[in-house]
Structure 1
Amino acid sequence: MRINPVLRNESKLAARTPKFTILLFIYIAILSAGVLVFYNLYSETFYANGLDLQSSVMLYFGMAIGQAVLLMFIVPALTSTAICSEREKQTLDMLLSSKLTPFQIIIGKLSSSSIKVIMLIICTMPIYVVCGLTGGIRISNIIQLIMFFAVTTIFVGSIGVFISTYTKTSKVATALTYALVLFIFIGTLIIAFIILMVEGMKGNGADPGIPWIVYLSPATGFMSMLSNQVGMVGQMGYMVPSMDISKYAEYISIAIQLGLSVVFIYLSVIKLNPLNTKRNLKIFKRKKS
């Protein structure tokens, strides 16, 4: 099996530098510290009354939310400079002049960044298994959560590569990537809330239903998945059904994320293809003459 040359080269560079090892250590240490603090707070209750299944569910819920927030900040930082860094180091022309196609370059860059993050996610599975051992959480729930995180990583990574292809400097690419990611995750929910408020102020009496734009945010699928798995801790389990969000929202979210990832990759390949640039220059010269 032939490995993508860009992916192979990026993997070798990551293995030779301690940055990723330090990132992995810090990432797991943060989540592990959260687990230790949680069990320390509930230690007296455990000794007196034994393990409470609801506490395990709360721990799982808290770790999932915490990891989702961490990933939302880590993935753009790793992917937003994928192409910009090559352009700044003046090595992009060398890549384009090689036998590699623009598609191979984009996929290689996206894969190398996504694999790093997916490794972080997989390394946290033993921490989640603690919840499964104490009860209240099934292993299938943990696997489903890991798969959702992996899909979201690819989606956010494709956004970073897309922005990196269309910008010239790393600072601008990083800022734009974070802005677009925050808009998709949070901005779409705010827009959906505004639409509901406007429809409610009209006073038609009919139920306007949930705006379709809410499904563009991976947060909707994420919260729906947690609701279906553990009831989102107590009364919060009724939040998703009461908002008329589909119980299959996580699958809708996964489909949308994968579809948008393909679109972002396609647009990145078009932009990176030097033949398109030459063709545009020829058209411009013909019009000028």
Structure 2
Amino acid sequence: MMERFSNPVLSKELKLRFRAFKSFSGLMFYLAVLCIFVAGFLLIYTRFSGTAFFRPSDSFTMFVALSVIQMGLVMFITPGLTAGSISTEREKQTLNILLTTTQSSTQIIGGKLLSSVAFLILMLIAGLPLYSLVFLFGGVSPSQLITIFLFYLVTLIAIGSIGIMFSTITKKTIVSMIATYGAMIFLGGITAFFFFIGISMEQMAIHSATGLAQNATPFSPITYFCAGINPGALIITILYPEMASSLESAVGISMPIWIVYLIFYTLLTVFCLFVAIRKLRANMKTNR
């Protein structure tokens, strides 16, 4: 029974990844960056003296900054871990050997993705002691921390799936990484740009309507969708509930954006994994 659910690809990838020196050097660098930021933040807010007070409001500001930085690191590191999963095997000429084993395409893709996700989860867990400083000074509820980390998990799985898909459908690792980082730029930057354009156009349309400036009700589903799939907008609305209310009133839609975020990235993950599984052996037949 256990052999049916075993995944040799996942076991092999976990051993190789967690035994490699570059993995733990990368983890050490990641924690060093967070430590430098926290130490600098504390020194600045205490005015480089040991007698100044660190208020709960300052602690919440540090929590917000840490959350944004970690989301940025997740979006930056995840493509580097997943975008070369299949294309590297192809470049080393070991993919055909892997495909001749008894492992299914689902096991191969799932093993590659889960090994990368496991390492990213280790990085997030390793940073928890730094978050404990926030609870030491107060100002943040445990529910906020749990919510943020749950959406970290959803985001890194989705980004990992995008990287796996591009790694499967492209032949070169560099092309896969460029495409994956391009997708991250679109999800994090272009959607924010479209959101601000949509808000500006909506406000201009309301104020240009004669006699309707006071009574017009905004309704902009495209602007709302751009905000709903943006990781930065999600974190801001989770940390600042009043910002979520302002966003809902600005676009005329009262549904919380975390629902859109969860649905979109779940569907994106399923689609990317489906394409990767279907195209894995198709590429091998084409190369013949």
Aligned residues of 1:166 and 1:271 also touching (Cα < 8 A) = yes
Q: TM-score, normalised by structure 1?
A: 0.85
Describe how 1:275-286 pairs up with structure 2 within 5 A: none
SS in 1 for 2:240: helix
Aligned residues of 2:68 and 2:232 also touching (Cα < 8 A) = no
Aligned residues of 1:163 and 1:177 also touching (Cα < 8 A) = yes
Q: Does 1:213 align with 2:241?
A: no
SS in 2 for 1:273: helix
Partner of 2:8: 5
- Write the letter of the residue equivalent to 1:209: S
- Write the letter of the residue equivalent to 1:70: L
Matches of 1:251 and 1:129, distance apart in 2:
28
Aligned residues of 2:96 and 2:284 also touching (Cα < 8 A) = no
Partner of 2:239: 226
Gaps of 5+ in 2: none
Pick which of 135-144 and 82-91 moved more: 135-144
Structure 1 residues 140 and 201, CA gap change in structure 2 (3 angstroms): closer
- Residue in structure 2 matching 1:106, options 106, 109, 112: 109
Structure 1 residues 247 and 34, CA gap change in structure 2 (3 angstroms): farther
Structure 1 residues 246 and 237, CA gap change in structure 2 (3 angstroms): closer
Q: Does 1:181 align with 2:184?
A: yes
Partner of 1:76: 79
Q: CA deviation at 1:241?
A: 5.0
Pick which of 41-50 and 120-129 moved more: 41-50
- Write the letter of the residue equivalent to 1:254: L
Give aligned-pair identity as a percent. Answer: 32
Describe how 1:54-73 pairs up with structure 2 within 5 A: 54-73=57-76
Aligned residues of 1:75 and 1:153 also touching (Cα < 8 A) = yes
Aligned residues of 1:77 and 1:174 also touching (Cα < 8 A) = yes
Q: CA deviation at 1:201?
A: 4.6
SS in 2 for 1:153: helix
Partner of 2:160: 157
Matches of 2:254 and 2:99, distance apart in 1:
45
Matches of 1:24 and 1:129, distance apart in 2:
19
Q: Per-residue displacement from partner, 1:176-209 (whole Å, max 9, x unpaired)?
A: 1101111122212322333444455554454233
Q: CA deviation at 1:115?
A: 1.0
Partner of 1:285: none
Q: CA deviation at 1:238?
A: 7.0
Structure 1 residues 51 and 201, CA gap change in structure 2 (3 angstroms): closer
Q: CA deviation at 1:6?
A: 1.2
Matches of 1:167 and 1:144, distance apart in 2:
35
Aligned residues of 1:220 and 1:253 also touching (Cα < 8 A) = no
Aligned length: 273
SS in 2 for 1:258: helix
What value does the CA root-mean-square deviation take over the aligned residues? 2.5
Matches of 2:168 and 2:186, distance apart in 1:
19
Aligned residues of 2:237 and 2:244 also touching (Cα < 8 A) = no
Partner of 2:257: 249
SS in 1 for 2:109: helix
- Write the letter of the residue equivalent to 2:277: V
Q: Per-residue displacement from partner, 1:118-149 (whole Å, max 9, x unpaired)?
A: 11011111111210121101222212111111
Partner of 2:276: 268
Q: Does 1:18 align with 2:29?
A: no
Matches of 1:180 and 1:58, distance apart in 2:
29
Pick which of 54-63 and 211-220 moved more: 211-220
Aligned residues of 1:189 and 1:213 also touching (Cα < 8 A) = no
Matches of 1:194 and 1:116, distance apart in 2:
37
